[in-house]
Amino acid sequence: MSFWEGKVAEMSSMTVPSFCRFFKKVTNKTFTRLVNEYRIVHACKLLAEKPMSVANISYESGFHNFSHFNKLFKAFAGKSALQYRKELHTMIK
């Protein structure tokens, strides 16, 4: 159970297991997956707009483990965050 699952379950007056089952049934995704997808989308926006290091972007997006960020980003975007940024800047030029 993550900290946020517990908080959201509490706010919805549900137990954590009940909330997780309900959430997955309604969204067809786990709560953790949805949060991670949101964080990756935020990281994509930062990669496009801010001249920050990829490590700082991962931290600003809510990831506290850089290797975990890299793994999830590649699974979501099909490329590394650095490659994503390079391709984006190439397309803009």
Q: Which CATH number among 1.10.10.60, 1.20.120.530, 1.10.1740.10, 1.10.645.10 corresponds to the domain 3-92? A: 1.10.10.60
Please enumerate in sequence order all residues whose Cβ is within 8 A of that of 39, keeping only pairs 6 or more positions apart, or say none: 61, 62, 63
pLDDT of residue 6: 85
6-30 pLDDT tens trace: 888 899 999 999 999 999 999 999 9
The pLDDT, as a whole number, for residue 58 is: 97
Whether residue 1 is predicted with pLDDT greater than 70 in this model: the reply is no
| Side-chain half-sphere exposure of 17, counting CA atoms within 13 A | 0
